[in-house]
Amino acid sequence: MIVIKVWCCLPSDQSEEDLNRLHRAIVKAVVSVSDLCIKDENDMVCLFPSGLIKYGLGQEIIVEVSGLPDIPQKNIIVRQTLARRVGQDVSALYTETRIELSVRGFNSSDGFWTSAKLEDQKT
């Protein structure tokens, strides 16, 4: 599953509506990369971890995208396209802020575990 983390550098005056707008922009950008075969927000997790420091909020936004599926012979192009689209959409909402975005693929050799799906537990 694709995981997107928007790290603790968001401006301190963000409303719930602002965060929802940012979430929708990120989902739209990810879904627009057709090679990923992502249909909607249910195919990804978008996290907004809070920071413990107030200094510098709103000056930089760090976005990390991880867990991309392996797409042979397209990985570099897909990652660059995804980085550009998500970065541009976040930047459009925060025009005075420096945005930094990184994209990493999924590597099962790093270790991986998941619980059974809820539907599997009912049977």
- pLDDT of 121: 47
Lowest-confidence segment of 26-30, 86-90, 97-101 by average pLDDT: 97-101
Give the CATH number, domain containing residue 106: 3.30.429.10
Domain extent at residue 92: 2-122
47-98: per-residue pLDDT in tens? 987 765 565 555 788 899 998 877 777 788 889 999 999 999 999 998 888 8
pLDDT band at 13 (very low <50, low <70, confident <90, very high): confident
Question: Does the pLDDT at position 10 exceed 50?
Answer: yes
Distance CA 82, CA 43 (A): 15
How many domains does the chain contain in total? 1
Q: What share of the chain is helix, strand, coil (3-state, %, to 5)?
A: 40, 20, 40
Say whether pTM exceeds 0.95: no
